[in-house]
Amino acid sequence: MNIKVLGTGCANCKTTMTLIDQAAKDLGADINLEKVEDLAQIMQYGVMTTPGVVIDEKVVHAGGIPERAVIEGWLQGATDKVSGDSSAGACCDDSSSDKSGGGCCS
pLDDT given for residue 80 in this prediction: 59
pLDDT given for residue 77 in this prediction: 72
CA–CA dist 19, 15 (Å, integer): 6
Confirm whether 104 is domain-assigned: no
* CATH code at position 7: 3.40.30.10
> For residue 57, how many other CB atoms are within 10 A of its CB?
11
pLDDT in tens, the chain (106 residues): 999 999 998 999 999 999 999 999 999 999 999 999 999 999 999 999 999 999 999 999 999 999 999 999 999 877 654 434 333 333 333 333 333 333 333 3
Confirm whether 15 is domain-assigned: yes
Nearest to 3 by CA among 28, 25, 30, 34: 34
Confirm whether 81 is domain-assigned: yes
| 92, 104 Cβ separation under 8 angstroms | yes
Confirm whether 103 is domain-assigned: no
The shares of helix, strand and coil residues in the chain, as percent rounded to the nearest 5, are 40, 20, 40
Confirm whether 82 is domain-assigned: yes
Model confidence, pTM: 0.73
Confirm whether 96 is domain-assigned: no
Confirm whether 77 is domain-assigned: yes
Confirm whether 7 is domain-assigned: yes
pLDDT given for residue 37 in this prediction: 96
pLDDT given for residue 104 in this prediction: 38
Domain residues for the domain of 52 are: 2-86
Q: Which amino acid is at 52?
A: G
Tell me how many domains the chain contains.
1
CA–CA dist 102, 104 (Å, integer): 7
Q: Which amino acid is at 66?
A: P
